[in-house]
Amino acid sequence: MSQKSLETILENAHPVMPVLVVDALKDALPLAQTLAQCGITVLEITLRTECALKAIGQIKNTFPELIVGAGTYTKSDQMAAIIDTGADFVVSPGIHPNLLKLAQQHGLPILPGVMTPSDILLAIEHDLNILKLFPAQNAGGINYLKDLQAPFPTIAFCPTGGINSKNYLDYVELDNVICVGGSWVAPASWIRGQRWSKIAKEANLLIK
């Protein structure tokens, strides 16, 4: 298992960490290969499909240089299976003390989702200083992140939710944004349709 810190992982993800939904296991390796060839080094595979865990395992076995996160970590009983995949970190849509403690006990970097100042305070109590703002656009977007800068000057964010090719640069230019997460680079419909050239074109457009 990778011993990289979350800060190192997300610095490698800058500017964009693709957030991916893999519906069919046969698509996992071509997807990973396509993104890797475009210079993408950090991926999040969401645990929203039956094959997601196997997809992470296959990608880590075939492309060990890729840094792969298990997203949609919402229940404690997911942890054992996540560890078995060789995932490098976990991402949660929200924040809960039990999920934080379990990840920390296993030495697995966790990027928890926050939306309110109270969420951020909970993260700080658990010695976390890099957080996922979710859903970023609906939470207040750019202006909200600017408002969070003064009371939380040591916190960096990975905004996710509502980020797209038209607005991601506005986010990554903020001092308290380490990278953004987004599905527009490889939407689920493109993955299902095996539109690798289209995904490659979108990935190559990213300002690295």
Is residue 2 scored above 90 in pLDDT?
A: no
Residue ranges of the domains in the chain? 6-204
Structure tokens at 53: 């865990």
pLDDT digits (tens, 9 = 90+) for 71-123: 999 999 999 999 999 999 999 999 999 999 999 999 999 999 999 999 999 99
Separation of CA 79 from chain center: 17
Q: Which CATH superfamily is domain 6-204 in?
A: Aldolase class I (3.20.20.70)
Catalytic machinery residues? 44, 132
pLDDT digits (tens, 9 = 90+) for 35-81: 999 999 999 999 999 999 999 999 999 999 999 999 999 999 999 99
pTM of the model: 0.96
CB 113 within 8 A of CB 134: yes
